[in-house]
């Protein structure tokens, strides 16, 4: 119950934003995002951004997977 | 930009699989409780890669699968109302009620106004465009979906819409997990927890698993690399003796979760007893609209009164989604119930427990 | 005195009287410009030698104008492609319209022009046709049927010629058309870059067939690549094994499918071709496709084995095995 994809915010107007992912654009609600800024990445489920995500977090997560693998 | 390709095809994939094999676990059952995990695991072809004694089974994690037949029947009855435009996610279109073959897609073909949407916000716009019709949104889902559904209701109120309502079918993941763990036949050694539910409720939302029940669990993301890493860490925990809650999906899940989303949910919903296919009535396990949103509650508007239809057919979906029975153990599997003509929801989703078993049984 | 065309199609245009004639004479004949059609007989008189390939398809797509094409272009490509996949050189088309009362004539004109351009681009002539009009509410604007005739130039292209060790080639990116139409129809997203790949395949087919070593061709339309490959091996002893990393998918299509929960392998294609080829011929075929417009992204995506009789499987990025079964119905967007 969880299909959600990262979108990048390209335009913000109050609680609504235009998000873009791989050339697809959609109006999304950003009510749950603290201090959203154009250029931020957010995970979007059913037209609602449920969390921000940034490059460093992605890299850290990737690193953790590698660590688990290397520790085998 | 967020390294999706690397998560999809992780460098350490082979090592993690090797690590799983080296754990040399006995017959072990681990359960995922998220329809999206079910699909992602199938997409990654993960099950065939795990050692045969590791059984990764699907639990009551698909909101479609846990919707009782009686509720589905009432939804189908609602679709007969000529004033109603029934709006839904695609997931519900082929789910049968208590009568095999009777589903929203069939009703649509017979003339019911049923329309699919990606977001409930689009349904608000529809309500504005069609002031003489009643737009009813089928609000299924768990905590990932609940906050957005809440916004749709609040927004409907803010706009003063008179012709929009939500059938609030939202459910709480924690309730299903507790009911499952406390059931007699429970034999699962660890849980793969849904990453996006955790995004909302926080890692803390799942700590009860290890703290209260001593069950190992790992919150996992949805790419192949996430799931593989999460499964490895879960099995490693099971091999060791100290149950914990681990968070694999750190890029999206924090300890406390999304507190803004939680606040909106608290403003809009209250807990209530709810009926789950396979688990029966669980106290405080569902979300209902608060009194101040009564005008947007489709249950009130349309006298929604589902009957108890469990046990009407030989369908064993309830047992299967709880992991108490294998698909092959259902008397209807592969005979009366096949993907082209499903009796129960486990056969509807292309990767649901039964549909998947049907596909792979002769591999 | 000729009746001139009005702004919308009315029932009279289907009645066979003056209005029908005006439609034929003012729009259709000038658009298609050939002797056989201009003779305006009940049927077309054509010359032919040798074996014929004959195919028909009906087109009901909605919306009838979509990113990358329209129902008219589709109605030519669909039938031309069926003929080409059989090893035929397409030559003649029949064109049947079922128009809904109220259809804007400007839309019809645009569709007819599109048919004419597409037919000219693959050297086929529209030689006979028919127009009917149905009452408002009974038609979706326009439905088209085309039937096509061509010369059988490369006989023997059938699935039973497929052998263990053969390679599976696709002529380009998959899922474009199905995704573009799903987006256009649902209004769920805006995706400027996702266009239907609708195009005639006769030149691509010719390029591959001239190399030799082709067992069978097929264009993966409804149900996508996965469904078409199943048709090749179901009920038999062979397996088609695909490599997930080898399947070309355009970035926009991959993104849109991810968001909606669709699988590009099951989305329709209207300008792509699957080639099952002898292993030794694959390189030459691939080069020939790369040099032909529309084939730039051609790739080997799998091979034929005997491992799982009758099935199509996908080796995933993780190295796992996923069965690609035939769908029971159309793919639906999901949030779960």
Structure confidence at residue B314 (pLDDT): 83
Q: Could you tell me if C294 and C214 lie in one domain?
A: yes
Residue B18 near chain A (CB below 8 Å) = yes
Q: How confident is the model at residue B73 (pLDDT cuts 50, 70, 90)?
A: very high
Structure confidence at residue B6 (pLDDT): 92
Whether residues C316 and B228 touch (CB distance < 8 A) is answered with no
Whether residues B116 and C311 touch (CB distance < 8 A) is answered with no
Structure confidence at residue C327 (pLDDT): 85
Q: Order of strands across the sheet with B164-170?
A: B114-116, B84-88, B134-141, B164-170
Q: Which helix (H) or strand (E) holds C177?
A: helix C176-186
User: Comparing B225-234, C76-85, C184-193, which segment has the lowest mean pLDDT?
Assistant: C184-193
Of B35, B224, B228, the CB nearest to C336: B35
* Closest residue in chain B to residue C328, using alpha carbons only: B340
- Show residues of chain A in contact with C264, CB under 8 Å: none
My answer on whether omega of the bond before C63 falls inside 30° of 0, hence cis, is: yes
- Show residues of chain B in contact with A51, CB under 8 Å: 199, 252, 258
Distance in Å, alpha carbon of B252 to nearest chain A alpha carbon: 6
Distance in Å, alpha carbon of A10 to nearest chain B alpha carbon: 15
Chain B neighbors (3+ CB pairs < 8 Å): A, C
Of A26, A45, A46, the CB nearest to C189: A26
Residue C164 near chain A (CB below 8 Å) = no
Whether residues C189 and A5 touch (CB distance < 8 A) is answered with no
Residue A72 near chain C (CB below 8 Å) = no
- Show residues of chain B in contact with C311, CB under 8 Å: 363
Q: Could you tell me if C187 and C306 lie in one domain?
A: yes
Q: Could you tell me if C53 and C71 lie in one domain?
A: yes
Tell me the helices (H) and strands (E) count for chain B, helix number first.
15, 11
Q: Could you tell me if C300 and C205 lie in one domain?
A: yes
User: Residues 133 to 152 of B: which have CB under 8 A from any A CB?
Assistant: 141-142, 144-145, 147-148, 151
- Show residues of chain A in contact with B89, CB under 8 Å: 46
Structure confidence at residue C4 (pLDDT): 63
Average pLDDT on B61-85 reads: 94
Q: Could you tell me if C52 and C188 lie in one domain?
A: no
Q: Could you tell me which residues come within 8 angstroms of residue C41 by beta carbon, excluding any fewer than 6 positions away? A: none
Could you report the predicted ipTM of this complex, rounded to two decimals?
0.97
Structure confidence at residue A2 (pLDDT): 87
* Closest residue in chain C to residue B341, using alpha carbons only: C328
* pLDDT tens-digit map of B261-294: 999 999 999 999 999 988 889 999 999 999 999 9
Cα separation, B358 vs C45, whole angstroms: 54
- Show residues of chain A in contact with C252, CB under 8 Å: 22-24
Which residues in chain A land under pLDDT 70? Answer: none
Whether residues A46 and C335 touch (CB distance < 8 A) is answered with yes
Whether residues A3 and C261 touch (CB distance < 8 A) is answered with yes
Of A4, A41, A61, the CB nearest to B196: A4
Range of the structural domain that residue C270 is part of: 159-323
Q: What is the pTM of this model?
A: 0.93
Interface test with A, best of B143, B177, B251, B264 (most A CBs within 10 A): B251
Last residue of a domain, one of C98, C117, C152: C152
Distance in Å, alpha carbon of C259 to nearest chain A alpha carbon: 6
* Closest residue in chain C to residue B339, using alpha carbons only: C328
Cα separation, B168 vs B71, whole angstroms: 11
Whether residues A21 and C191 touch (CB distance < 8 A) is answered with no
Q: Could you tell me if C221 and C269 lie in one domain?
A: yes
* Closest residue in chain A to residue B33, using alpha carbons only: A1
Whether residues C254 and A22 touch (CB distance < 8 A) is answered with yes
Q: What is the DSSP string of B63-124?
A: TTTTS-HHHHHHHHHHTT-TTEEEEE-GGGTT---SSTT-SHHHHHHTT--EEE-S-HHHHH
Distance in Å, alpha carbon of C328 to nearest chain A alpha carbon: 22
Q: How confident is the model at residue B318 (pLDDT cuts 50, 70, 90)?
A: confident
Average pLDDT on B92-117 reads: 94
Last residue of a domain, one of C123, C152, C181: C152
Average pLDDT on B220-235 reads: 97
Structure confidence at residue A24 (pLDDT): 87
Q: Could you tell me if C307 and C179 lie in one domain?
A: yes
* Angle in degrees, CA B266, B270, B276, rounded to 5: 125
Residue A45 near chain C (CB below 8 Å) = yes
- Show residues of chain A in contact with C187, CB under 8 Å: none
Q: Could you tell me if C64 and C204 lie in one domain?
A: no
Residue with tokens 């019809």: C108
Last residue of a domain, one of C152, C180, C213: C152
The percentage of residues in chain C with a pLDDT greater than 90, rounded to a whole number, is 82
Residue C26: give its domain's CATH number.
3.30.1330.10
- Show residues of chain C in contact with A26, CB under 8 Å: 188-190, 259
* Closest residue in chain A to residue B66, using alpha carbons only: A1
Q: Could you tell me which residues come within 8 angstroms of residue C315 by beta carbon, excluding any fewer than 6 positions away? A: B45, C241, C242, C243, C244, C321
Whether residues C193 and A23 touch (CB distance < 8 A) is answered with yes
* Closest residue in chain B to residue A21, using alpha carbons only: B1
Whether residues C245 and B363 touch (CB distance < 8 A) is answered with no
Q: Could you tell me which residues come within 8 angstroms of residue B24 by beta carbon, excluding any fewer than 6 positions away? A: none
Longest dimension (CA), chain B: 65
Q: Could you tell me if C301 and C271 lie in one domain?
A: yes
Residue C202: give its domain's CATH number.
3.90.650.10
A-C CB pairs within 8 A amount to 46
Of C189, C334, C335, the CB nearest to A24: C189
Q: Could you tell me if C169 and C96 lie in one domain?
A: no
Tally of residues, chain B: 363
3-state SS, residue C260: helix
Q: Could you tell me if C219 and C101 lie in one domain?
A: no
Q: Could you tell me if C135 and C225 lie in one domain?
A: no
Burial of C1 (0-12, 13-18, 19+ CB in 10 A): exposed
* pLDDT tens-digit map of C100-133: 999 999 999 999 999 999 999 999 999 999 999 9
Q: How confident is the model at residue C3 (pLDDT cuts 50, 70, 90)?
A: low
- Show residues of chain B in contact with C186, CB under 8 Å: 116, 118
Structure confidence at residue B64 (pLDDT): 82
Exposure string over B235-250, b if 16+ CB within 10 A, otherwise e: bbbbeeeebbbbbbbb
Q: How confident is the model at residue B259 (pLDDT cuts 50, 70, 90)?
A: very high
Structure confidence at residue C1 (pLDDT): 44
Whether residues A24 and C335 touch (CB distance < 8 A) is answered with no
Residue C39 near chain A (CB below 8 Å) = no
* pLDDT tens-digit map of C239-265: 999 999 999 999 999 999 999 899 999
Estimate the crossing angle of helix B224-239 against helix B13-22, to 10 degrees.
20
Residue A65 near chain C (CB below 8 Å) = no
Asked if pLDDT for residue B345 goes beyond 90, the answer is no
How far separated are the first and last CA of chain A, in Å rounded?
32
Distance in Å, alpha carbon of A3 to nearest chain C alpha carbon: 5
Average pLDDT on B218-244 reads: 96
Whether residues A64 and B2 touch (CB distance < 8 A) is answered with no
* pLDDT tens-digit map of A28-43: 999 999 999 999 999 9
Give chain C's domain count. 2
Higher-scoring residue by pLDDT: B360, B109: B109
Q: Does residue C102 fall inside a structural domain?
A: yes
Indicate the DSSP class of residue C247. Answer: S
Tally of residues, chain A: 72
Residue B59 near chain C (CB below 8 Å) = no
- Show residues of chain C in contact with B349, CB under 8 Å: 336
Average pLDDT over chain B reads 94
* pLDDT tens-digit map of C151-193: 999 999 999 999 999 999 999 999 999 999 999 888 888 877 7
Domain ranges of chain A: 5-70
Write down the H helix ranges in B143-207. 146-158, 173-181, 195-201
Distance in Å, alpha carbon of B117 to nearest chain A alpha carbon: 9
Q: Does residue C117 fall inside a structural domain?
A: yes
Whether residue C179 contacts residue C264, with contact meaning beta carbons closer than 8 Å, is answered with yes
Structure confidence at residue B333 (pLDDT): 94
Residue C261 near chain A (CB below 8 Å) = yes
For domain A5-70, the CATH architecture is Roll (2.30)
Average pLDDT on C282-290 reads: 98
Of B119, B224, B360, the CB nearest to C323: B360
- Show residues of chain A in contact with C335, CB under 8 Å: 1, 3, 45-46
Asked if pLDDT for residue B362 goes beyond 70, the answer is no
Q: Does residue C336 fall inside a structural domain?
A: no
Which domains can be identified in chain B, with CATH numbers? 4-63+174-247 (3.40.50.11750), 69-170+284-301 (3.40.50.11740), 317-357 (no CATH)
Structure confidence at residue C193 (pLDDT): 79
Whether residues A24 and C261 touch (CB distance < 8 A) is answered with no
Average pLDDT on B331-353 reads: 89
The percentage of residues in chain B with a pLDDT greater than 90, rounded to a whole number, is 80
């Amino acid at each position: 119950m969880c299909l959600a994809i990262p979108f990048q915010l390209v335009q913000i107007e109050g609680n609504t934003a235009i998000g873009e992912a791989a050339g697809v654009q959609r109006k999304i609600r950003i009510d749950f995002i603290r201090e959203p800024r154009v250029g931020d990445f957010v995970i979007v489920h059913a037209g609602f951004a449920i969390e921000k995500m940034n490059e460093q977090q992605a890299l850290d997560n990737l690193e953790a997977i590698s660590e688990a693998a290397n520790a085998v | 930009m967020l390294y999706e390709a690397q998560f999809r095809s992780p460098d350490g994939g082979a090592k993690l699989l090797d690590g799983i094999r080296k754990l040399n676990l006995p017959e072990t059952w681990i359960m995922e409780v998220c329809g999206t995990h079910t699909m992602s695991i199938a997409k990654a072809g993960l099950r065939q890669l795990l050692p045969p004694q590791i059984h990764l089974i699907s639990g009551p994690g698909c909101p479609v699968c846990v919707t009782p037949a009686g509720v589905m029947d009432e939804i189908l009855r609602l679709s007969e109302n000529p004033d109603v435009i029934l709006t839904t996610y695609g997931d519900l279109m082929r789910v049968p009620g208590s009568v095999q073959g009777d589903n929203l897609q069939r009703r649509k073909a017979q003339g019911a106004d049923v329309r699919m949407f990606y977001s409930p916000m689009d349904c608000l716009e529809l309500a504005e465009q069609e002031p003489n019709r009643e737009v009813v949104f089928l609000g299924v889902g768990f905590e990932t979906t609940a906050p957005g559904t809440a916004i749709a209701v609040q927004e409907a109120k803010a706009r003063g819409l008179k012709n929009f309502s939500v059938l609030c079918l939202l459910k709480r993941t924690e309730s299903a997990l507790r009911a499952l763990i406390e059931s007699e036949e429970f034999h699962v050694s660890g849980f793969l927890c849904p990453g996006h539910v955790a995004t909302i409720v926080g890692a803390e939302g799942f700590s009860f698993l290890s703290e209260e029940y001593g069950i190992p669990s790992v919150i996992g993301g949805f790419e192949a690399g996430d799931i593989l890493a999460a499964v490895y860490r879960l099995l490693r925990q099971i091999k060791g003796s100290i149950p914990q809650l681990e968070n694999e999906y750190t890029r999206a899940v924090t300890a406390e979760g999304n507190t803004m989303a939680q606040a909106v949910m608290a403003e809009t919903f209250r807990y209530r007893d709810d009926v789950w296919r396979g688990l029966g009535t669980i106290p405080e396990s569902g979300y209902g609209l608060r009194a101040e949103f009564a005008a947007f509650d489709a249950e009130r508007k349309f006298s929604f009164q589902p009957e108890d239809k469990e046990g009407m057919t030989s369908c064993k979906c309830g047992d299967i989604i709880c992991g108490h029975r294998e698909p092959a153990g259902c008397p209807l599997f592969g005979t009366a119930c096949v993907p082209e003509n499903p009796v129960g929801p486990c056969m509807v989703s292309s990767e649901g427990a039964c549909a998947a078993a049907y596909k792979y049984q002769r591999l | 005195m000729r009746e001139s065309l009005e702004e919308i199609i009315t029932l009279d245009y289907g009645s066979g009287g003056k209005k029908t004639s005006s439609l034929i004479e003012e729009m259709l004949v000038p658009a298609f410009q050939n002797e056989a059609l201009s003779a305006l007989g009940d049927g077309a008189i054509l010359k032919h030698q040798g074996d014929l390939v004959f195919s028909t398809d009906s087109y009901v797509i909605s919306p009838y104008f979509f990113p990358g094409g329209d129902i008219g272009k589709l109605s030519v490509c669909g039938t031309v492609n069926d003929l080409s996949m059989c090893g035929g050189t397409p030559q003649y088309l029949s064109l049947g319209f079922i128009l809904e009362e109220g259809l804007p004539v400007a839309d019809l004109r645009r569709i007819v022009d599109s048919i004419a351009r597409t037919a000219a681009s693959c050297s086929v002539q529209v030689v006979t046709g028919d127009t009917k009009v149905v009452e408002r509410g009974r038609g979706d604007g326009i439905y088209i049927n085309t039937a096509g005739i061509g010369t059988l130039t490369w006989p023997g292209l059938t699935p039973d010629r497929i052998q263990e060790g053969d390679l599976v080639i696709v002529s380009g990116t998959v899922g474009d058309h199905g995704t573009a139409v799903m987006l256009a129809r649902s209004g769920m997203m805006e995706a400027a870059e996702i266009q239907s790949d609708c195009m005639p395949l006769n030149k691509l087919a010719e390029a591959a067939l001239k190399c030799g070593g082709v067992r069978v061709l097929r264009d993966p339309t409804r149900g996508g690549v996965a469904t078409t490959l199943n048709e090749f091996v179901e009920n038999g002893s062979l397996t088609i094994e695909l490599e997930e990393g080898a399947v070309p998918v355009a970035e926009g299509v991959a993104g849109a499918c991810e968001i909606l929960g669709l699988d590009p392998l099951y989305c329709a294609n209207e300008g792509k071709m699957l080639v099952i080829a002898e292993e030794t011929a694959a390189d030459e075929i691939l080069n020939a496709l790369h040099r032909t417009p529309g084939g730039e992204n051609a790739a080997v995506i799998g091979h034929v084995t005997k491992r799982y009789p009758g099935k199509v499987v996908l080796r995933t990025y993780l190295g796992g095995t996923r069965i690609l079964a035939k769908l029971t119905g159309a793919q639906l967007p999901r949030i779960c």
